[in-house]
Amino acid sequence: MFVHHKIKTCCINIAAPIKSNTLTYIQLNFRQLKGEEINGLSVKDLENLESQLETSLKGIRTKKDQLLTDEIQELNRQGVIIHQDNMKLFKEVNMLQKENAELRKKVCGANDINDIHRSSIRPHGFSSGYDLHGPMDLQLCQPQ
């Protein structure tokens, strides 16, 4: 049992310097990737460092392109939904305009509604049957 304890102590003593050396190497490599502490490097070492950076940049650009592509697709999807909602609302407005015109026709007669409709056409293809920005003059018509 005493020998096993000695072996375990021996391995721990060897592992600590290896971990310390690995950490030191990683820190040096990181500084070199940032462009620091590269004065003593050979051309081959600088080429290796450059290759590592190019590989890293390629991965970063690929990830960025993927994120932008995903965002564009999401915005396009939202645009389609908004367009569909807009079309539904446009149809509802048209339906309400037709209903309104029919009600006016029933109340006021066909001649009066045509005069009102011609004078109240609004931009973008919407007409309400009357001018929303002007004064309203509502009258009851006698049934014919």
pLDDT value, residue 127: 52
Domain that holds residue 120: 57-128
The whole-number pLDDT of residue 19 equals 73
Q: By the 8 A CB rule, do 107 and 140 touch?
A: yes
> Is pTM beyond 0.75 here?
no
In this predicted structure, what is the pLDDT of residue 71?
95
Closest by CA position to 49, among listed 62, 59, 37: 37
- In the predicted structure, residue 93 carries a pLDDT above the cut 90: yes
Neighbours of 107 (CB within 10 A): 14
Can you tell me the mean pLDDT for 5-18?
54
- Over residues 29-54, the pLDDT tens digits come to 889 989 999 998 999 999 999 999 99
Residue type, 139: Q
Residue 45 in any domain: the answer is no
CA pair distance 32, 43, nearest whole angstrom: 14
Assess contact for 105 and 113: CB atoms under 8 A: yes
Instruction: Decide if 51 is inside a domain.
Output: no
Whether residue 144 is contained in a domain is answered as no
Confidence of residue 126 (pLDDT cuts 50, 70, 90): low
pLDDT of residue 2: 43
CB 107 within 8 A of CB 141: yes
Per the structure, how many domains does the chain have? Answer: 2
pLDDT digits 0-9 by tens, 49-83:
999 999 999 999 999 999 999 999 999 999 999 99
Residue 6 has pLDDT above 50, yes or no: no
One-letter amino acid identity for 32?
Q
Q: Are 126 and 98 in contact (CB under 8 A)?
A: no
Q: Look up residue 127 and give its DSSP letter.
A: B
**Would you call 45 helix, strand, or coil by DSSP?**
helix
Question: Does residue 123 share a domain with residue 62?
Answer: yes
